Amino acid sequence: MTLPDTDAVHPAQADQAPVVQEPAAPLPNLEIRANAGPDLAQLMAPPPRTDDACLACKSVYNYPIARWDKMPLSVLGLPRSEREARHMRGLVMDVRQCATCSHVFHSDFNYDHIPYRTGSNLVYNDGSSWRQYHDDLVEEWVRDYNLVGKRVVEIGCGEGLFLERLAKHGNHCIGFEPGPDAERAAARGIEAYAEYFQGSRLFDLRADALVCRHVIEHLANPLDFLEDIAIACCEADLSPLFFAEVPLIEKAMEQNRINDFLYEHVSNFTRNSFRTMFERAGFDVLDVQARFDDEVVTLVAKPTPKPLQRAVRLKATSFQKSVQRQIERVRTTLLAWQEAGLKVALWGGTGKGAALINMFSIDSGLVSTVIDSDPRKAGGFVPGTGQAIRTPDHLRVNQVDRILICTNWRARDIEREIRDVHGFDTDLYVYLEESIQELGPETRL
């Protein structure tokens, strides 16, 4: 095989000027130095697992943002002297961002450091553009969600300014405000309660709509707070609209703006983390919008229907009512056997057997003989009640009239052991359907 002559000139190029090739540019130095890659390694590393769960989604994977070891209160902590200002308590503010939902929060928050019951929110909210924003927001929500002639409950109503706007549309407005602003809200004609709101109040308030503006960012456990409301709505058979608003942290994060972090604001929401938290708490989110030049985010939601919760509630309630009834039935049977002079043994001295013995208060005065299939347990004693645990051979010398098998899931195996292995023809019983029943071939366990 003949290789082409690389120096030969193609006939079509014979009359052309020779091409002068520039010397090749040197290749970049691709040498990887041992100390040149920490930034890349940091970017490629998975988020660290921490002990600090995200307040919005409960994930424990988050990234550190910033930390201040001596941050004073700045919203509810206005000092009245220079000396007081200089000696304010410095609080730890360790700011983190959740790797799962993007929520920004600080992990060393202590709700007890903030005087919500005695202090008022000192953020100035009386600018003309802010007032106009409120007017427009009320008109939009009234129009889009038919908030006319409804029972509206605001959680953290402050002086009642927002509810006052809603009341102009014929709404019966009710406000909860734990601080001194509750009196000012009442002076505006609001049905105001100077207390923290709890989901259980929905049973008597029967709200058509809930409003919660610039409150959730202050809560130590906002997800639990919302879940409490969602569960209460299901229990009370209510489906109120939930209108919420919090500061939006996205713009501050984009601009590396650090003074948005306040100790009182333990949560700093992104649109995604706000939606995620409501959905996780049990709400269907209808709308999420950044507003007021992307400095706040609003959300509208409704409680998600919870057929499982209702089924669990019914079962749990009926189960609870049955407990005392079962105890009385079982003990009545055992006492009747004792009065009739019948000798009884319990089969099963630990686990579910010990649980049954203790739950029905079967002490040695009521039944003293306890048998167990496991020879390793022989010589031990029933936890709580103290009967000696014996092997099946004990019954060859100390015969009994009836055996109560204390665990249903092994009842058939124990029955075969009693009949086929040990050859006992004693009458067998099980605890079934809230009472003691004879174990026969047709018994459904």
Residue 382: pLDDT band with limits 50, 70, 90: very high
Q: Is the domain of 345 the same as that of 416?
A: yes
In a domain, 58, yes or no: yes
Residue type, 284: D
Sheet with 435-438: list strands edge to edge.
Answer: 389-390, 369-371, 344-347, 402-405, 427-432, 435-438
Q: Is the domain of 375 the same as that of 429?
A: yes
Find how far residue 313's CA is from the centre of its chain: 19
Tens digits of residue pLDDT in 279-330: 999 999 999 999 999 999 999 999 998 888 888 988 999 999 999 999 999 9
- Give me 384's structure tokens: 């709580």
In a domain, 267, yes or no: yes
In a domain, 194, yes or no: yes
Q: Is the domain of 182 the same as that of 303?
A: yes
Residue 367: how many other CB atoms lie within 10 Å: 22
151, 209 Cβ separation under 8 angstroms: yes
Q: Is the domain of 280 the same as that of 168?
A: yes
Q: Is the domain of 186 the same as that of 294?
A: yes
In a domain, 373, yes or no: yes
In a domain, 434, yes or no: yes
Q: Scanning the structure block, which residue is given the tokens 């124990």?
A: 414
334, 345 Cβ separation under 8 angstroms: no
In a domain, 162, yes or no: yes
Structural domain including 154 reads 128-309
Q: What pTM was computed for the model?
A: 0.74
What CATH number does the domain containing 426 carry? 3.40.50.720
- Give me 407's structure tokens: 């665990």
In a domain, 370, yes or no: yes
288, 271 Cβ separation under 8 angstroms: yes
Q: Is the dihedral of CA 61, 47, 245, 68 positive or negative?
A: positive
Tens digits of residue pLDDT in 101-156: 999 999 989 888 887 766 555 555 678 999 999 999 999 999 999 999 999 999 99
Task: Give CA–CA dist 12/21, Å, rounded.
Answer: 19
Q: Is the domain of 356 the same as that of 304?
A: no
Residue 431: pLDDT band with limits 50, 70, 90: very high
Q: Is the domain of 192 the same as that of 305?
A: yes
Last residue of some domain: 309, 338, 368? Answer: 309
Q: Helix 222-235 to helix 307-339 angle, to the nearest 10 degrees? A: 70
Task: Give CA–CA dist 402/131, Å, rounded.
Answer: 81
- Picking from 103, 104, 205, the residue whose alpha carbon sits closest to that of residue 155 is 205
Find how far residue 154's CA is from the centre of its chain: 23
How many folded domains does the chain comprise? 3
Q: Is the domain of 194 the same as that of 298?
A: yes
In a domain, 123, yes or no: no
Q: Is the domain of 52 the same as that of 87?
A: yes
Last residue of some domain: 275, 309, 343? Answer: 309
Tens digits of residue pLDDT in 68-101: 999 898 887 778 899 988 988 999 999 999 999 9
- Picking from 346, 415, 359, the residue whose alpha carbon sits closest to that of residue 387 is 346
Q: Scanning the structure block, which residue is given the tokens 């009693």?
A: 418
Q: Is the domain of 161 the same as that of 303?
A: yes
Q: Is the domain of 349 the same as that of 226?
A: no
Q: Is the domain of 222 the same as that of 78?
A: no
